[in-house]
Each structure stands twice: as structure tokens, then as C-alpha cells.
Amino acid sequence: MSFDTLPPSLGEALSARGYTDFTPVQSAVIADDAHGRDLLVSAQTGSGKTVAFGLAMGDELLTGGGAPPPGLPMALVIAPTRELALQVAKELAWLYAGAGARIATCVGGMDASRERRSLSQGTHIVVGTPGRLKDHLERGALDLSSLRVAVLDEADEMLDMGFREDLETLLDATPKERRTMLFSATMPQPIVRLARTYQRDALRISTVGEDRGHGDITYRAVTVAPSDIEHAVINLLRFYEAETAMLFCATRDNVRHLHASLVERGFGAVALSGEHSQNERNAALQALRDRRARVCVATDVASRGIDLPSLSLVVHVEMPRDAEVLQHRSGRTGRAGKKGTAVLIVPYPRRRRVEGMLRGAKIAAEWAGVPTAEDIRAKDRERLLATLLAPVEIDEDDAALAEQLLAQKTPQEIAAALVHAHRASMPAPEEMIDRSPAQGQGAGAPQAERGAHRPGFDDIAWFRMNIGRRQNADPRWVLPLICRRGHVTKNEIGAIRIGQTETQFQIPRAIAARFAAAVKATANAEGEDENGVMIEPMQGAPAPLTRANGGGGERPHAGPRKAPYRAKPTGAPRGPRPQGARPRG
């Protein structure tokens, strides 16, 4: 493709970088109708938006094919996090290298005095985070009186993080005739209000529909029992053996717990959340780049701006709040023509909600169970054979050691020892709860409808849960949920009856009060756990399930009836730790 419509230095930079075509957002911002106008752009992570606004500001920065002598900033790019700001500066550096443009960064965690010296020496483009930029502005080190273009990258995230006042302070310090570009993955009302205040006749551009789903990302959804989420993470990591994987949790507490569990099991893992200092973040990212670690456990906010070329697997350990966040997380992989995989771990009660989210996002995900231990062993065999059968160069020392081994062991013994050493170096897979429908043939297997009497259950109390077959309730995962919530063992649970919208089960009356107290302690103020599951006692015995009432459909019983289970639109599925304080990442 020809870059003749661009300033020559930018076209040459794109060609040298291997660009042969524009992405949809890049084409849109340099089109004739966008020339010189304010822009309000919806674009996903990985869509090439940094290069897009770099191209869009070219006419304001370059004269005669190059940049004028450095002086007061001509362009300002504001990003929500240090990592994203530095990534943007790096992209703009190669794009504007041929034009001779000077770029300064102003971000938290860096030497502020050095940044002030850089600004005083003159610059063309300033890239920074809201807080540090405002600090330099108030100290007089940053003069925006000559600004020609302002860019707000990931504006929705900056507003979510509480930077609205800082953004307004910065924009108020710029000339009114400046050009303003807002790039945001989503367009909530706060973004619209900000655009109305600081933009003039902005051109609305949306490439979400074209970028949606990321063509180089394969989406998979795996269903698990809520108590099996952590085991699912381990098996997914072992099954894919990705060069670099990122695991997303909803809170910093869950990041801390999952990271500790993975390290304990032998994974090379690092953590990123709001509780980590800048030095800790830098060390974690360097460990990933150096391949000393292969797994990053992170919250959404903490992962902003992270660019890991080797990232090929994203696991949504806890579900995102909406489809936009889902795609933003997943967009960390599948970049620059590389293939990536995004896996959603879906607790059984959340499946319907997730299916709706995927339909809304127009994402075709493959639904399956979590890889089993046998699946992982089969993959290990394939990988080991491929590694050992690959051609290698053997030096004299290797050959001499091989001769010594052959003199003492048979080839079969040496090969078996090599396989054993290979397997011993990897964490063992986890056994998952049986995902098949319960048939109830075993003595210890709970059934969807068992006899009301079992030995030791002559005097029982009935409890019910607000989930049933409509929420994919199955004894194989309901049983561990009851045990976890009520602090009982499976031997202390009697008959389990699963209906259309609720599940009923027996607890010996001798421990019913203790069970009810434990359930209350593991619930929120509404009596539900974080998945929206409520457990409550029943008054008397329920009516028996029959074919006539649909095997547990609507049937009379004593006491008030609760509304059927509904997944909360903003609730997080159960994470890999007990319920507790949940500060944001």
C-alpha cells in the first residue's frame, strides 16, 4: 500500500517498520473528512490506535516534512498509567524519528527533576499521566500555551480512576483553538460530557464493530464448579504451556491469593495490582520479558499499558463486568498478526449471563470442560516428543557424556529417566470434579432426586437454594458449594433435589443451627454469596418431586418463595479465595 497521502517522514517510518496496510482506526483518522477536526474515537486495545493518533497529529506537528526546532510542547498525550504512557512514547518515537521530533515523558515513579530539565530544553510532544502532568503544570515546568493538539488515550479508564479534575485542569491550560482527540474503548456518559465541554464539532469514529472479537484471538469458555476455579487455572496453564500467560482477577486480594498458590505449585509467576509499588511492577515486568516468569496475575487497572510480545494466553479467572472489558483484557494477546487464546472460566451458575455477554460482543466462543489430567499428559507427551526429536547441534562434551551414560544404562533406561526428569520439572495437573451429569449409582454420589430417608438422617431439616436446572445446577458442583458455605462434609448432607428454579437438600437437625449460622456468615447483606446464590431454611418438608410437576418445577411449599436466581450484572464470580474485603485493583 502507498503512504503518499502522509508526510514523507511518517510514510518512510511505517514502511521501515513493516507496515503494508492501515488498520480500520488508522484509515478513519487520516481520511479527508477527519482532516484537522476534533475526533471522538471508539477503538479496542490492539487496534493500532497509538499509531492512529500519531498519524492524525502529523499535520499539526510537521512543516516542510520535518519538525520545527524544539520549544514549547506542540502535542500532549495523556494516558492513565505509567506503562501505557511509556508504551505510547516508544511508539511515537519511531514514528517521528525521521522527522526529528523530540518527545518528553512525564509519569509517576520517574525522576521529576530530570523531566523538568527535559521540558526546559524544548520538546515537540509530551506524553504523561494526569497526576504528574498536573504537578509539572502547577510548578511552572510545563507550559501548554502553544499546544496545537491534545490526545486523551483510554479516556474512559482515566475517568474511572478519578482523574477528571486533573484532565480538566490540563485542558483548561491549553489554547481554545487546539485540536482535541479522545480515544476510548467505551463511550459512557462522562466521556460524552467531557467531549461536549472540550471539543468542537467532533467527528465520531467507531471501529469497535470492525475490530470486535480480534480475528487473531481464539475464544474458549470452560464451565467449572465454583469451588474448582483455582484447579481450572492450573490445568489451563499446564494444558497450553504458553510462553507468557496473563490471568485476570477482579480484586487485589484475589491476585495475591492466586499468585501465592501458583508459586507454591511451582509456576514462575508474578503479580500486578494496585498494592504493588512502581519498583515491584518494574521487577515483575522485567521477569516476564526475561522469561524468568511465564505467568502474570493481574487486575484490570494494573495491567493497563502492558505490552508483552510473547503473550499468547489470557485467562479470565473472574468474569469482566461487561463485553468491552472482556475484549480489552483479551486484546492483550493476538497482536501484530500473532495468534492468541482467551479462555473464560465460567462457574456453572454464571453460564447464561456469559452466553449473553458473548452474544452481545459478537464473539463465537467454543464451550468445553476444563482440560483433564489425562488431556494434559497427552499434551505433555506430544511436546516432549517434539522437543526430543527436533534436530540439535551436539558438541564434544555432550557426545562424551552421552557415551558415559550409554556405558552404564540402556537407551531405554536413559530415555525413561529423561521423560521422568521432564515431567518432574512441571507442576502436576489437578483432578477436577466430575463434569458429567450425576447418575447417582455410587454409594457416595448425590442424586438429583434421592429417597428422603438415609441411615442417620431420621431427624432432618430441609434447606433450599435459589438455583435449579435453569442455572445448570448439578449435584457434582452443588455438593461442594453446600460444604463450603455451611462448613460441613458431604457425609453430613442428605438427599438433594434439583428442580427447575431451586434446589432442596437435607441437613441433620442436630447440626442445622450451626449450618445456618455458617451460611449466614458466608453471605452478604442480601443473604447471597458473590455468585448470587442464596441458601435458606425451609419450614417443614417440601412436596415430593414428581413427573407431573416437571421433576422439581413450580410446586407448593411452606414459607415465602424467593425469586429465581438471577446473576448480578456487575457481580464477580467466585475467585480463588474466601470472601472478605475486596478493594479494587
- Tell me the range of 46-60, 164-178, 377-391, 552-566 where mean pLDDT is highest: 164-178
The tens digit of pLDDT for each residue in 199-208 reads 999 999 987 6
- Tell me the range of 116-125, 257-266, 281-290 where mean pLDDT is highest: 116-125
Residue count (the chain): 585
* Position 308, amino acid: L
DSSP letters of 147-181? Answer: --EEEEETHHHHHHTT-HHHHHHHHHTS-TTSEEE
Strand arrangement of the beta sheet that strand 269-272 belongs to:
269-272, 295-298, 244-248, 311-316, 340-347, 217-224, 366-369
Residue 221 backbone phi and psi in degrees, to 5? -125, 130
- Tell me the range of 71-80, 211-220, 296-305, 365-374 where mean pLDDT is highest: 71-80
CATH of 217-372, one of 3.40.50.1240, 3.40.50.970, 2.20.25.90, 3.40.50.300: 3.40.50.300
The tens digit of pLDDT for each residue in 145-171 reads 999 999 999 888 788 778 899 999 999
Crossing angle between the packed helical segments 278-289 and 82-95, to the nearest 10 degrees: 60
Dist. CA 106–CA 330, nearest whole Å:
28
User: Strand runs (DSSP E) across 388-471, as ranges?
Assistant: 460-465
Dist. CA 538–CA 274, nearest whole Å:
43
Query: Where exactly does CATH 3.40.50.300 map onto the chain?
Result: 8-211, 217-372
Total-model pTM: 0.55
CA atoms within 13 A on the CB side of 124: 22
Residue 114 backbone phi and psi in degrees, to 5? -65, -40
CATH number of 8-211: 3.40.50.300
For the chain, the C-alpha Rg in angstroms (whole number) is: 29
* Position 486, amino acid: G
As a whole number, mean pLDDT of residues 386-414 equals: 84
Question: 470452560: which residue's cell?
Answer: 222
